[in-house]
């Protein structure tokens, strides 16, 4: 089934929906809905209270009488859980590792009111696009590690936690009777991903895990259009490209920014947000250094440098 990449709720298999937010750039995440009778399981809320409210209103209009009884948060990034408070009566499920990260998350406060702090420009830009007011962090009330099978009405939904990749505690949501998989941010389509955690090898292994799942024909990424196994294979190739390039660049002693700019993107030039290569190559460097450096916080200002010089020639060695 070809699902148009247009804003809103789409039925992607019988009683199985994706809520899409083109163009999938920072903060514009997808969600999912699995319905059985008058019950539903929601996969992820959105970045803000108003955007989550709009999604729940769309669900209520399309499916009157259906109640979201279970919410699964695929991981701890705000664009997948900061709207949780609008489902106060639901069972809210996440991996224990994701729940731990969510408990420590204070970024929403900074985005709502940075006070005297000067935020990097691309972070500040988020504040112009999204309304971060009124967020009351609403944490999972049921956690697990490894795998968990949930029931919604007469249907079964499998949660599969994979070893740290995009973040710690990433979870795949498999709906076997529909051949559908919601990947959260373990799959980005149309843009470069972000490796917050890694190691990158775990993410490549997560792609293998996805490709090994029986009967999955429809894959809903965390960001981007509804896809299938072909996009997962392409994404795995991207990760292998980044891993191999970063490993060579690290051996050659290249600074992260230069290594990012020199990445051979043949076959991937259509992907948006190439500045994220800085984080991804930095994550491989961190893994190879083994001492926690360069930390993600050190890399973020480099994203600003990349964006400020967009279109400019590659800077000379040593920058």
Residues from 122 through 181 that contact Zn ion (CB under 5 A): none
Identify which of residues 66 and 187 has a Cβ nearer to Zn ion in the complex. 187
Q: Is 274 in contact with 266 (CB distance < 8 Å)?
A: no
Taking the complex as a whole, the smallest distance from the CB of residue 27 to Zn ion amounts, in Å, to: 7
Q: Is the separation of the CB atoms in 150 and 93 below 8 Å?
A: yes
Q: Distance of CA 258 to CAs 120, 291, 296, Å?
A: 20, 21, 16
For the chain, give the number of residues.
Answer: 319
Give the CA distances from residue 213 to residues 157, 197, 289, in Å, rounded to whole numbers and listed in that order.
13, 24, 34
Least gap, CB of 189 to Zn ion (angstroms)? 12
Nearer to Zn ion, 73 or 138 (CB): 73
Instruction: Tell whether residue 273 is a contact of Zn ion (CB under 5 A).
Output: no
DSSP reduced 3-state for 108: helix
29 binds Zn ion, rule: CB under 5 A: yes
DSSP-based three-state secondary structure for 212: coil
Q: Which is nearer to Zn ion, 172 or 259 (CB)?
A: 172
Stretch that binds Zn ion, among 77-85, 105-113, 123-131, 250-258 (CB under 5 A): 77-85
Please state the closest distance from residue 21 (CB atom) to Zn ion, in A: 10
Asked if residue 48 binds Zn ion (CB under 5 A), the reply is no
Tell me: does residue 185 bind Zn ion (CB under 5 A).
Answer: yes
Nearer to Zn ion, 25 or 69 (CB): 25
In the complex with Zn ion, the residue whose CB is nearer, 29 or 263, is 29
The DSSP string of 126-148 is HHHHS--TT------SEEESSEE
Shortest distance (Å) from residue 47 CB to Zn ion: 8
Q: Among residues 82 and 259, whose Cβ is nearest to Zn ion?
A: 82
- How many residues touch Zn ion (CB under 5 A)? 5
Torsion of CA 212, 216, 222, 225, to 10 degrees: 130
Closest CA to 49 of 83, 74, 9, 72: 83
Using CA atoms, how far apart are residues 266 and 200, in angstroms rounded to an integer? 20
Q: Which of 103, 96, 87 is nearest to 139 (CA)?
A: 103
User: In terms of Cα–Cα distance, which of 277, 274, 275, 259 is closest to 317?
Assistant: 259
The one segment of 18-26, 53-61, 71-79, 208-216 that binds Zn ion by CB under 5 A:
71-79
**Binding status of residue 79 toward Zn ion by CB under 5 A:** yes
Would you count residue 84 as binding Zn ion (CB under 5 A)?
Answer: no
Q: Which of 32, 78, 222, 224 binds Zn ion (CB under 5 A)?
A: 222
Binding site for Zn ion (CB under 5 A): 29, 77, 79, 185, 222
């Amino acid at each position: 089934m070809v699902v148009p990449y247009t804003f809103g709720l789409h039925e992607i298999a019988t009683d199985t929906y994706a809520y899409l937010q083109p163009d999938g750039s920072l903060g514009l995440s997808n969600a999912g809905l699995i319905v059985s009778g008058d019950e539903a399981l929601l996969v992820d809320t959105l970045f803000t209270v108003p955007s989550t409210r709009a999604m729940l209103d769309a669900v209520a209009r399309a499916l009157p009488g259906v109640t979201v009884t279970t919410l699964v948060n695929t991981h701890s990034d705000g664009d997948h859980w900061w709207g949780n408070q609008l489902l106060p009566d639901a069972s809210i499920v996440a991996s224990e590792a994701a729940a731990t990260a969510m408990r420590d998350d204070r970024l929403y406060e900074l985005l709502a009111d940075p006070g005297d702090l000067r935020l990097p420009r691309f972070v500040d830009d988020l504040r112009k696009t999204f309304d971060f007011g009124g967020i009351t962090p609403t944490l999972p009330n049921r956690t697990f590690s490894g795998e968990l099978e949930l029931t919604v009405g007469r249907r079964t939904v499998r949660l599969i936690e994979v070893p740290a990749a995009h973040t710690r505690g990433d979870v795949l949501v498999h709906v076997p009777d529909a051949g559908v998989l919601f990947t959260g941010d373990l799959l980005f389509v149309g843009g470069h991903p972000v490796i917050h955690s890694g190691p990158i090898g775990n993410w490549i292994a997560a792609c293998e895990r996805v490709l090994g799942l029986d009967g999955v024909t429809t894959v809903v990424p965390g960001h981007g259009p509804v896809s299938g196994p072909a996009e997962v294979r392409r994404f795995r190739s991207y990760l292998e490209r980044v891993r191999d390039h970063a490993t060579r660049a690290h051996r050659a002693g290249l600074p992260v920014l230069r290594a990012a700019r020199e990445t051979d993107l043949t076959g991937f030039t259509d992907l948006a947000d190439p500045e994220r290569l800085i984080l991804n190559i930095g994550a491989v460097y961190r893994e190879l250094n083994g001492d926690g450096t360069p930390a993600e916080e050190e890399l973020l200002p480099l994203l600003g440098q990349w964006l400020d010089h967009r279109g400019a020639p590659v800077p000379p060695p040593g920058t």
